Structure 1
C-alpha cells in the first residue's frame, strides 16, 4: 500500500515539475533595453499550474528625453495553459482591470492598445502572436511629455520592436 502511495506521489510530482520552468524559457524572450533605457531590477517569473506561465521585467529611462514622458515600462510575456479559465489568466496580466482599448493589427498579430486619455496613469499594449500567448507592454506616467499621446504610443512600440514575435509565438 505504501509503495502505491509513493508511486502516485512521485507521478504527481513529476507532472508538476514538467509544467514548471516554462516561465524561464519566456524570460529569455523579454526585450533588451531600447536606447535610453535600462533594466530596473531582474525578471520575475510566475508558473501557476493549470493557468499560465509568465515572465516580466521592468525598465527605467536613463533620461527624460528617452522616456518621452514615461517613468517606467513593464513588459510581460504570458503563455496560458490549454483550457485555462480566461478569468484566471486575466488575473496574471500586468493590468488586470478592464479598460477601453482599440483593436489593431501589429506585425501581423492582433493587438489591443489603450486609448490615450489625458488623465491616464498608464498606457497598455497587448499583442497576441498566437492564441494563448500574450505580450503586454505597459508604460507608466512620468514627466510632462507624457501628455502627448504620440509619445505614449512611441514608447510601447520601442519595446515591441525589440521583441521577436516569431520566437515568442513558437514557444509551447
Structure 2
C-alpha cells in the first residue's frame, strides 16, 4: 500500500505541477493569473483531481469488486442446483432379427432407441463446512474494508500532492 501511495503521489505531483503552472495565480495578491483570469481555488483543484484521477477510479472499482466477493462468499450458504440434459439420435440403430417360432413371423430386436433423451437434476447443500463458509464471508468483509482504506489513502495522498503543488507554486511566485 505504501508503494501505491508513493506512485500516486509522484504521478499526481508531476501531472498537477504542469496543470497548475497554467492555471494557478501568478499574482495571488492581485487575483490575476498568467492569462489574466481569476485564480482557481484550491478546493476546486482538489475536487477536480479527485474526480478525474484514474488511480482513484481503479480504487473505487476495487471496492465494488470486493463487495461482489462478499456476495459470492455468502452464496456458499445456499443450496446449489445443476440441471443438465442431452438428446441423441443415432444415424444407425443396430437390430437383430429372430425367427418367431414355427409358422411365426420374424421378430426384430433393437439394441438402442432411435431418440435418446437424458435429463439430470443434481442438488447439493453444505450441512457442515467446519466454519469454512463463515470464515470466507469474514475474509471477504475484511477485503472490502481494505479496499475502502486503500481508496481513502489514495485520495488523501492525491489531496496532499495537489495542496503541496498549489502552495509551492504560490510560494515560488511570492519569492519572485
Whichever structure has more strand as a proportion of its residues is 1
TM-score, L = length of structure 2? 0.23
Whichever structure has more helix as a proportion of its residues is 2
If you compute each CA radius of gyration, which structure gives the higher value, 1 or 2? Answer: 2
Using CA pairs below 8 Å that are at least 6 residues apart, which structure has the higher relative contact order?
Answer: 2
TM-score, L = length of structure 1? 0.23
